[in-house]
Amino acid sequence: MRRLLTLLLLLLGTALPAAAQSGPSASFPYTLKTDRLPNGLTVVRVPYPSQGIIAYLTVVRVGSRNEVEPGKTGFAHFFEHMMFKGTKKNPEGARERIMGTFGFDDNAFTADDVTVYYSYGPAAGLPQLIEIEADRFQNLEYAEPSFQTEALAVLGEYHKNAAAPFLKMEEELNAAAFTRHTYRHTTMGFYEDIKAMPQAYEYSKTFFERWYTPDNTMLFIVGDFDDAKVMQLVRENYGPWNRKAATVKVPAEPPQSSPRTAHIDWPQPTQPRMVLAWRTPAASVDTMDAALQTVLVDYLTGPTSPAYKSLVLDKQLVERIGSDFSEHRDPHLFTLTATLKDERHRDTVRLALLKEVSNLAAGRVDAARVKAIQDHARYGTLMSLQTPRDVGIQLAWYAGILGTPDGLQRHLQNLTKVTPGQLQEFTKRYLTANRLIVLSLTPKTAGAGGTK
């Protein structure tokens, strides 16, 4: 699957003209001006009336999915931290001084498939920003002690996240769902691997060489600026970047032939929880799969769904229901989640959610609700794009997952095309009993000697 996807993207890349423009639509009222430099770097500018504020995003198509070597999980995320450690020209601390002079909000995040860097602040700082960004993506350089110290900050991040059950649940669900694919570990990585990170200095350099390449990276610049000047600076500064992305094989996950379960006994007071998960197709520009799953989330668990009305509002058996679905490059999971009020209602809630799934599979689809979900998506997108940063992050996310700069627009278009028949077909095909994975979490109780 992964090789096919790469091949498609390569074909797509060569087929694309060196410059393209795509206009506004009902739910995305902005224009993308896209150029591709000879070294393969895609550069997208989005005019946005922001009165002197810009957002500058770099999306690298690398995430925990790329962590194929044993013992090196969590590295994409750790590496994101290291990207702030400087170069020969701008050693550690120089970035803070340059960015600080202008007041940029400067940060990054890592997910399973992508790493996104963003700087958000005054357009006046763009020339310096382009220079320092181009420099670090080409010439990152850090000493081993600095690397070792940063590994401890990552451990601190893990500890911060570990107080709530979510991280453990994600770890257990992934372990149940994936036996070979790198989605088996979370983006944070296995705890043991995080603790061993300080020893992996040499590997970190390999990671940079492998994935931080112009053909694996896209820039998005959103806001008020002189397009010609910006493009000139981008060409000058990023032009010499000349590495090529590695081809590392991510192991394919074998099909699942029977249902699976996983359970967590949580040692502290918390609500009982449940996740129903199915392995589902990847997000791709060539299929409706991502759009269908996006609609399914609200159809099955949204605030106007029958399950929400029954379980949350009327019977009050759960605090909330929802889904952790997010778009992935390779086949990942479609989930339904429930935070229960009482352990005794676990079966009732599971059966109620599965009943909604089987209704859909049987073709009992409420077309009016599908239409309402599409309206909600259209207006919701408009409402969510309040700043250049909002626009940039959404563009970068979908571009990174789908491998094309107009990924967001394509996804939004696909949402408008979803039909009740397609939802039925998808549900019947993928949300089946044999592919189901059930994760349960039960808190420690007073009877078991717990605190409450």
| Interaction of residue 207 with another protein, rule CB under 8 A | no
Token pair of 88 as six digits: 């020969």
Which range binds another protein by CB under 8 A, 10-18, 31-39, 229-237, 376-384?
A: 376-384
Q: Are residues 282 and 413 in contact, defined by beta-carbon separation less than 8 angstroms?
A: no
| Interaction of residue 151 with another protein, rule CB under 8 A | yes
Q: Are residues 69 and 204 in contact, defined by beta-carbon separation less than 8 angstroms?
A: no
| Interaction of residue 363 with another protein, rule CB under 8 A | no
| Interaction of residue 156 with another protein, rule CB under 8 A | yes
The residue among 210 and 378 lying less far from another protein, judged by its C-beta, is: 378
Which range binds another protein by CB under 8 A, 210-218, 308-316, 324-332, 403-411?
A: 308-316
- Write down the least CB distance from residue 384 to another protein, Å: 9
Angle between helices 144-162 and 165-177 (to 10 degrees): 100
Footprint of another protein on 386-425 (CB under 8 A): 386-387
The residue among 81 and 260 lying less far from another protein, judged by its C-beta, is: 81
274: amino acid identity, one letter = M
Distances (CA, A) of 340 to 161, 306, 320, 337, 387: 21, 17, 7, 10, 36
Among 14, 347, 449, 452, which residue sits at the site for another protein (rule: CB under 8 A)? Answer: 452
146: amino acid identity, one letter = S
- Write down the least CB distance from residue 409 to another protein, Å: 18
Distance CA 173, CA 437 (A): 8
What is residue 133's three-state secondary structure? helix
What are the backbone angles phi and psi of residue 361, rounded to the nearest 5°? -60, -30
Q: Are residues 196 and 300 in contact, defined by beta-carbon separation less than 8 angstroms?
A: no
Distance CA 369, CA 175 (A): 34
For another protein (CB under 8 A), the number of binding residues is: 67
- Nearest CA to 111 out of 157, 61, 160 is that of 61
Token look-up 């073709």 returns 363
x/- string (CB under 8 A) for another protein, residues 44-63?
A: -----xx-xx----------
The residue among 390 and 425 lying less far from another protein, judged by its C-beta, is: 390
Among 4, 18, 228, 313, which residue sits at the site for another protein (rule: CB under 8 A)? Answer: 313
**Residues near another protein (CB under 8 A):** 49-50, 52-53, 84, 96-97, 99-107, 120-122, 125, 144-145, 148-153, 155-157, 159-160, 162-165, 198, 267-271, 302-304, 308-309, 312-313, 316, 319, 341, 372, 375-380, 382-383, 386-387, 443, 451-452
